[in-house]
């Protein structure tokens, strides 16, 4: 491959990625919300980004639509009980995300209410009919909200406020690394750290906007390309325009698939136990407990829960199961009444 200067590589990358995106972009319900009020956009982006954490887009679409229908504004979410949230979150996994969303909504409502009480006439009370929540704009204020981390804060600024902000997720990291650094290591690690890639992303954002493109479209394009072309385990080299035009440093010749079994070894570092021949982390069992209690509003006793979540339930596992349930009670997901367990109110 001929030598390409970094500035030229960035320029060609922006041109080719935008051309590809125009033809192949995905239509998703949380994109292109520019006809909504700013705070409504921020709320919906926040919900979608939280749902998309470790969950496939295809699974999120239906859940997102139902969730927004049930909780159309941050004020509606703030008023939800634990059980309402957990039931609405069915099928998404990582149930603590749902409770953090609700807690974050309450924090936003409290901040607006406080500003109102202090005489800030611009601060408007939050309700389902008045959605202007004065959603925080700065990275610092956004990450101070429960459930919002650095990447989600950057996504909210980019997709809701049209303030393109460098933020690194797995798809973005993978594409930038393969194009500008080279293939990832066979164990799934990266030669370049996120600080280096973030500086590169800042340069790309500048070139993208200078070319007259909307900043949020860059992130959408990177995510779509990472999901549809430059996937983690099976890159589609034959249809990769970046490979065809010779600007990608990773190639079919120097890229190797991750070592089989490496992810399983990382999984075994999580607390859990083996059922049959399969190692299952405790977080999966906790998710099963929440799932079965969604379907049993009248509650289940200790033995019933054990039989529902594990085919090898037996007396030697009582202490293990007790610790799982105690953790869920501590996290506000489960409660106990008269020796039966229910979703927390």
State how far the Cα of 166 lies from the Cα of 194, in Å rounded to an integer: 11
- Angle subtended at Cα 103 by Cα 97 and Cα 104, rounded to the nearest 5 degrees: 85
208-261 confidence digits (pLDDT tens): 999 999 999 999 999 999 999 999 999 999 999 999 999 999 999 999 987 765
- Given 187, 213, 244, which residue is the final one in a domain? 244
2 pLDDT above the threshold of 80: no
Measuring CA to CA, how many Å separate 206 from each of 2, 7, 17, 22, 213? Answer: 25, 12, 14, 19, 10
pLDDT-based confidence at residue 133 (cuts at 50, 70, 90): low
Q: Supply the pLDDT for residue 82.
A: 93
Q: Supply the pLDDT for residue 129.
A: 37
Domain presence at residue 251: no
Which domain does 208 fall in, by range? 6-26+167-244
Please tell me whether residues 56 and 20 are part of one structural domain: no
Please tell me whether residues 89 and 194 are part of one structural domain: no
Please tell me whether residues 69 and 156 are part of one structural domain: yes
Please tell me whether residues 63 and 99 are part of one structural domain: yes
49-60 confidence digits (pLDDT tens): 999 988 889 999
1 pLDDT above the threshold of 80: no
Please tell me whether residues 178 and 327 are part of one structural domain: no
Output the average pLDDT for the chain. Answer: 88
pLDDT, mean of residues 11-40: 95
64 pLDDT above the threshold of 90: yes
Measuring CA to CA, how many Å separate 55 from each of 101, 103, 145, 156, 318? Answer: 16, 21, 22, 18, 31
pLDDT, mean of residues 188-195: 87
61 pLDDT above the threshold of 60: yes
CATH of the domain at 216: 1.10.1670
Number of domains comprising the chain: 3
Q: Supply the pLDDT for residue 225.
A: 96
Domain presence at residue 257: no
323-338 confidence digits (pLDDT tens): 999 999 998 989 999 8
pLDDT-based confidence at residue 136 (cuts at 50, 70, 90): confident
Please tell me whether residues 107 and 128 are part of one structural domain: yes
Burial of 342 (0-12, 13-18, 19+ CB in 10 A): middle
Q: Supply the pLDDT for residue 36.
A: 92
CATH of the domain at 91: 1.10.340.30
Lowest model confidence (mean pLDDT) among 113-117, 166-170, 198-202: 113-117
Residues acting as catalytic residues: 49
Q: Supply the pLDDT for residue 268.
A: 56
Domain presence at residue 214: yes
Q: At what angle do helices 318-330 and 302-309 cross, to 10 degrees?
A: 100
Domain presence at residue 176: yes
Please tell me whether residues 189 and 110 are part of one structural domain: no
pLDDT, mean of residues 58-79: 94
311 pLDDT above the threshold of 90: no
């Amino acid at each position: 491959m001929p030598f390409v200067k970094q500035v030229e590589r960035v320029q060609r990358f922006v041109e080719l990625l935008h051309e590809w995106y125009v033809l192949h972009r995905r239509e998703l319900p949380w994109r292109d919300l520019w006809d909504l009020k700013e705070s409504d956009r921020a709320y919906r982006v926040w919900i979608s980004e939280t749902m998309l954490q470790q969950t496939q887009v295809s699974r999120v679409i239906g859940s997102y639509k139902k969730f927004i229908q049930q909780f159309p504004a941050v004020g509606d979410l703030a008023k939800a009980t634990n059980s309402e949230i957990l039931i609405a979150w069915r099928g998404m996994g990582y149930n603590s995300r749902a409770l953090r969303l609700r807690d974050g909504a309450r924090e936003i409502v409290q901040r607006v209410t406080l500003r109102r009480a202090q005489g800030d006439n611009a601060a408007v009370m939050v309700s389902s009919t008045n959605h202007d929540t004065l959603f925080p704009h700065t990275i610092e204020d956004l990450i101070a909200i429960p459930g919002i981390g650095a990447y989600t804060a950057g996504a909210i600024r980019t997709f809701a406020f049209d303030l393109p902000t460098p933020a690194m997720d797995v798809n973005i990291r993978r594409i930038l690394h393969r194009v500008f650094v080279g293939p990832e290591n066979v164990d799934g690690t990266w030669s370049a750290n996120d600080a280096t890639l973030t500086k590169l992303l800042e340069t790309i954002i500048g070139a993208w906007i200078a070319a007259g493109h909307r900043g949020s479209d860059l992130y959408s394009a990177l995510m779509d390309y990472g999901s549809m072309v430059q996937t983690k385990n099976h890159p589609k080299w034959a249809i990769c325009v970046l490979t065809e035009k010779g600007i990608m440093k990773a190639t079919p010749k120097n890229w190797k698939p991750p070592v089989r079994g490496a992810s399983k070894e990382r999984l075994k570092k999580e607390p859990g136990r083996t059922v049959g021949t399969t190692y299952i982390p405790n977080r999966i069992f906790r998710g099963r407990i929440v799932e079965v209690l969604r379907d049993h509003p009248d509650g289940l006793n200790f033995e019933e829960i054990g039989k529902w979540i594990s085919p090898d339930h037996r007396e030697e596992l009582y202490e293990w199961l007790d610790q799982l349930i105690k953790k869920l009670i501590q996290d506000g997901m489960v409660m106990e009444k008269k020796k039966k367990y229910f979703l927390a109110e």
